[in-house]
């Protein structure tokens, strides 16, 4: 395997002297993650991009317009999904790209706006989403006809009267996603939503009190704010449900939690300058600096060490899966399906790294 410290990108075809569409964004803090390329095998080799990425990108842009989400140019959420789901169908990659787009918009509600300081607003918002997630999924054939929506694309859901774009987008995604999954999976998603709500409420309390989380409590808090259901959504996008006896095993739990931690902490390194400028202390770099008296540079090194350790937990858990499949008596078909989910988790760290380097979201 040939190691590379930078993701590969197509050559410029603009001929205008302007920066091509997908080369690294300038002055991104994500470059501080590059030492991990030499330490973490899963972050070493460039990801393959989905062969239909242009189609995914245009479909995602159309959807964001329909639901009213304002996505910055070059945010590139479809490219993270296109890498993590490169070996799967267009529908899988597109659905995950939509959920990523929604989740990052939703996250900004708390990180960058006054609502993130108001516990009562956090609770009310998650209560509304919880009611939507607790409702029976609407079959796709019951969608409002396109002509009744003024020409919106088929299968989309019109914005509910008075609904803000983030909630309208959630309603649309929940209709599409929940309809393909079992009641047990939908309950699991709703639980993850409640866990995120509790974590966001804790962050609001911290902001109001001017308190920096301790290094001991931060990982669990961050795991909650990242959206625990995001990792359940991999199953929905692939049309797979992990059997309960496997999902509840320590090995699978480690696989999921380690993937959550690695991607969340990498995001913290990349977003640290932005969040520091916004005065938000909920970042692992900020937490480490406060807890251990480190400079920003020293705190980044400390967090990178934690990322490398957690990435090894992810790898080790994945290596134990074949034996666990046999012990639990999974059929060959079940083992193949579950392996697809695990492969998406294993590809996530490198897919995210490449996205962090090229996306405009965290450029200075």
Average pLDDT over residues 123-129: 90
Instruction: Please state, in angstroms and rounded to a whole number, the distance separating the CA atoms of residues 323 and 330.
Output: 10
Does the residue 263 lie in any domain? yes
Give the residue among 356, 333, 150, 136 at the shortest CA–CA distance from 266.
356
Does the residue 240 lie in any domain? yes
**Low-confidence winner among 11-20, 211-220, 275-284 (lowest mean pLDDT):** 11-20
Q: Domain span at residue 144?
A: 29-149+160-358
Does the residue 15 lie in any domain? no
- Residues 36-75 have pLDDT tens digits of 999 999 899 999 999 999 999 999 999 999 999 988 778 8
Query: Cα 304–307–313 angle (5° rounding)?
Result: 150
Does the residue 364 lie in any domain? no
Q: 3-class DSSP state for residue 182?
A: coil
Contacting residues for 284 by C-beta, under 8 A, at least 6 apart: 218, 222, 265, 268, 269, 303, 306
Does the residue 23 lie in any domain? no
Does the residue 100 lie in any domain? yes
Does the residue 1 lie in any domain? no
Does the residue 9 lie in any domain? no
Q: What is the pTM assigned to this prediction? A: 0.86
Q: What is the pLDDT of residue 314?
A: 98
- Residues 305-335 have pLDDT tens digits of 999 999 999 999 999 999 999 999 999 999 9
- Residues 74-100 have pLDDT tens digits of 889 999 999 999 999 999 999 999 999
Number of domains observed in the structure of the chain: 1
Q: What is the CATH number of the domain that holds 247?
A: 1.10.600.10
């Amino acid at each position: 395997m040939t190691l590379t410290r930078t993701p590969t990108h197509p050559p410029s075809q603009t001929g205008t002297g302007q920066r091509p569409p997908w080369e690294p964004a300038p002055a991104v803090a994500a470059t501080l993650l590059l030492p991990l390329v030499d330490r973490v095998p899963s972050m070493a080799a460039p990801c393959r991009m989905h062969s239909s990425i242009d189609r995914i990108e245009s479909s995602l842009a159309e959807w964001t317009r329909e639901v009213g989400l304002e996505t910055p140019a070059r945010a590139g959420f479809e490219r993270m999904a296109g890498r993590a789901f490169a070996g799967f169908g267009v529908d899988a990659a597109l659905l995950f790209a939509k959920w990523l787009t929604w989740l990052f918009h939703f996250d900004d509600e708390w990180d960058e706006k006054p609502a993130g300081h108001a516990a009562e607003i956090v609770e009310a918002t998650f209560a509304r989403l919880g009611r939507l997630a607790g409702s029976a999924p609407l079959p796709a054939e019951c969608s409002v006809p396109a002509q009744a929506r003024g020409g919106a694309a088929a299968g989309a859901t019109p914005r509910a009267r008075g609904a803000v774009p983030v909630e309208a987008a959630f309603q649309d995604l929940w209709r599409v996603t929940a309809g393909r999954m079992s009641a047990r999976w939908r309950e699991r998603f709703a639980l993850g939503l409640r866990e995120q709500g509790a974590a966001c409420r804790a962050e609001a309390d911290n902001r109001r009190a001017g308190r920096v989380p301790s290094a001991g409590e931060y990982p669990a808090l961050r795991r909650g704010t990242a959206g625990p259901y995001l990792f359940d959504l991999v199953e929905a996008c692939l049309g797979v449900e992990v059997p309960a006896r496997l999902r509840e095993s320590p090995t699978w739990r480690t696989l999921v939690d380690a993937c959550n931690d690695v991607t969340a902490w990498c995001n913290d390194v990349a977003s640290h300058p932005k969040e520091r400028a916004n005065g938000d202390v909920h970042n692992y770099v900020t937490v480490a600096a406060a807890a251990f008296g480190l400079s920003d540079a020293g705190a980044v090194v400390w967090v990178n060490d934690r990322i490398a350790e957690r990435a090894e937990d992810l790898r080790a858990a994945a290596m134990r899966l074949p034996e666990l499949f046999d012990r639990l008596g999974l059929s060959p078909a079940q083992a193949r399906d579950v392996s697809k989910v695990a492969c998406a988790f294993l590809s996530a760290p490198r897919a995210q790294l490449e996205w962090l380097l090229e996306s405009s979201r965290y450029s200075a």
